[in-house]
Chains A and B, each alone.
Chain A
Amino acid sequence: MTLARDVRGMLAVAAVGVLFMLVAPSVLELFTIINLTTAIALAVLALSLALIWGYGGILCFGQNAFFGIGAYAYTIAAINFGGSSWAILVAILVAVAFAVIIGYVMFYGRVSDVYLAVITLTVSLILYSLIRRTSGPDYKIGKSLLGGFNGITSPPINLPWDSSFVLFPEHVFYVAMGGLILAYLFTSWLTRTHFGRVCVSIRENELRAELLGYDVRFYKLAIFAVGAGIAGLAGVLFCNGVGRVTPDVFNLYTSALTIIWVIVGGRGTLIGPILGAFGLFYLTSALGTQSTVNNNLVLGIILVVFVLGVPKGVIPTVADWIAARRSRRALRVRERRMRMRRTRGGSGAGVGAGRGSPDGTGAAARASE
């Protein structure tokens, strides 16, 4: 019963996504659509961290490292291959391979949570410094110059069967939205499998999972690698939305922002961080048009407010609130019914009044059954 409701929720979210994908381009202006593509790419990045932090319990502070690697790998591969299809696959695989290497060291070395956060953040910052220093004609991979802090212009995605047919920005929107929906369905499915439940159990109690006979190191590494692959996909979508990739994908601001999306949206849900990414993307865009308050200050305040006031994040808090209201109402109905029965038993009067109560109790009682 609960599982069925779960699956219905997941499909409903996917359906809303599909509807949005189909309707948005005919309603919104091109500029808004291009902007949305970027927001969608960031939402996919948020989703990847929602999976490994919210479900896997792995606080990766440098999730954007895989995002940036995906963006760079896609751009470099697409320039060299002269087409995008294989480049997308290469980008995802490179991100996964990178995650497997650093993940192996961290998980099989049994690095504790705090150090894991520090290591991943450091990796991201090292990549930032490295890539920034690659200006000039000496730094190139195949035909692609790395471009230092100016970055590289990313070739847009083309049709898989015709590399000369390059997608227009409005088409890239479909690709991005489709990517987000598929990534959401995939992660939703994954968190329901035996593998996904084991990852959740490791988040809950690592020792117990180990004593049940699960190789905790392997499960953590596996979900970490899957998350990196999704972040890699996000990188591909991002550089397609923006049109280029720069070292800023690796900077501290992006690292922190990814964490904030997940905290605001809510750990332990997938839709929460997605909405968190969209919400904060538009908030920062709006703040960017004015100069009264500093953008980073506002983000900082949001982070503090959420950590102190809404530690679970928006979606879980709202869900709890709805559940509490529902159970309170059920309790009230039950109490009222008991009272009615007592009066009925006591005097025999007021039976009719109790049944068809004018305040709608009867209806509420029926509804709750």
Chain B
Amino acid sequence: MRQGEVVLETRGLSMHFGGVRAVDRVDFALYENELRCLIGPNGAGKSTFFKCLTGQLRPTAGSVVIRDIHVTEREPFEVAALGVGIKTQVPNVFEGLAVEENIWLSARRWHVPARARSLTAETLERLRLGDIRTSPVGRLAHGQRQWVELGMVVAAEPWLVLLDEPAAGMTHEETVRTAELIREINRTATLIVVEHDMQFIRMISHLVTVFHEGRILMEDTMEAISADSRAREVYLGHRA
């Protein structure tokens, strides 16, 4: 799995809030075409790490490099402009706008009107949102809103996709469908997925990075992590 070039790398990445070291000197590397999961108990620093990658937080120290470009001091829109698709933990969607307009706004950012329209239609079909395309997103169920956000990520045709808890609050059936979709995205893009749901991770992942107290505890396959005593202790003991 680990071949090709490193597309995303952090060196000594730290994020402190007052005295709390949410992320503490993390060295992390992601290779092209990888599908990496980040796991860890609550407060392990996954989401803070994620926000540092996407420009939503300015790290206290260290650097984030995406394809040889330093993005540490960049704004989120500049990170997105590198071809990075981002889905946040709490669904961030345009509540008052129709599903299709949500998707279109993403597609239109990088494409001429005609291509944006066809890309929007394709995405609606791919995510099975066709029936509700004219509904305002604010009226949809939680799982559907998550998919609208995924649709926005996909419609931009990113080469690097960062997803924070994409299956949170979904029914089992929806989760399975989301896992399928993520594997499909992985055919053309490199992914990082922050997740809580162990079953979900088993469905999609090859390599898993375990966070604990702001640091990387270990990096391995899900089977190896399940078997590891330290990992079980911090995280898996009570779940799997």
Residues of chain A touching chain B, judged by Cβ–Cβ distance below 8 Å, are 2, 194, 197-198, 200-201, 204-205, 207-216
Contacts and interface: CB of A to CB of B under 8 A. Distances in A.
Contact of B95 (A205, A209, A211): A205
A216 B101 contact: no
Which 7 interchain pairs have the tightest Cβ spacing?
A: A213-B80, A204-B94, A208-B92, A211-B86, A210-B76, A210-B77, A213-B109
A47 to B, nearest CB: 21
A351 B84 CA distance: 62
B108 A194 contact: yes
B109 A205 contact: no
B97 interface: yes
Interface of B: 54, 56, 75-77, 80-81, 86, 88, 92-97, 101, 104-106, 108-110, 113, 134, 149, 152, 156
A208 B80 contact: no
A88 B30 CA distance: 58
A212 B154 CA distance: 11
B109 A210 contact: no
A213 B94 contact: no
21 contacts: A194-B108, A198-B105, A200-B94, A200-B96, A204-B94, A204-B95, A207-B88, A207-B92, A208-B88, A208-B92, A208-B93, A208-B149, A209-B105, A210-B76, A211-B77, A211-B92, A212-B80, A212-B156, A213-B109, A214-B77, A215-B77
A163 B151 CA distance: 59
Contact of A211 (B88, B101, B110, B113): B88
B97 A200 contact: yes
A197 B101 contact: yes
B156 A213 contact: yes
Contact of A201 (B56, B77, B86, B94): B94
A201 B94 CA distance: 6
A111 to B, nearest CB: 16
A211 B80 contact: yes
Nearest to A198: B105
A210 B80 contact: yes
Contact of B77 (A194, A197, A205, A216): A216
Contact of A208 (B54, B94, B134): B94
A201 B106 CA distance: 10
A207 B56 CA distance: 9
Contacts of B97: 200-201, 204
A208 B93 CA distance: 6
Contacts of A2: 134
A212 B109 contact: yes
A288 to B, nearest CB: 38
A197 B105 contact: yes
B57 to A, nearest CB: 12
A207 B77 CA distance: 9
B165 to A, nearest CB: 15
A208 B149 CA distance: 9
A214 B93 CA distance: 14
B131 to A, nearest CB: 17
Contact of A212 (B96, B101, B152): B152
B78 to A, nearest CB: 8
A208 B106 CA distance: 10
Given A200-B97, A204-B95, A205-B94, A213 B110 contact: yes
B92 A214 contact: no
Contact of A214 (B86, B109, B134): B109
A216 B105 CA distance: 13
Contacts of A213: 77, 80-81, 109-110, 156
Contacts of B101: 197
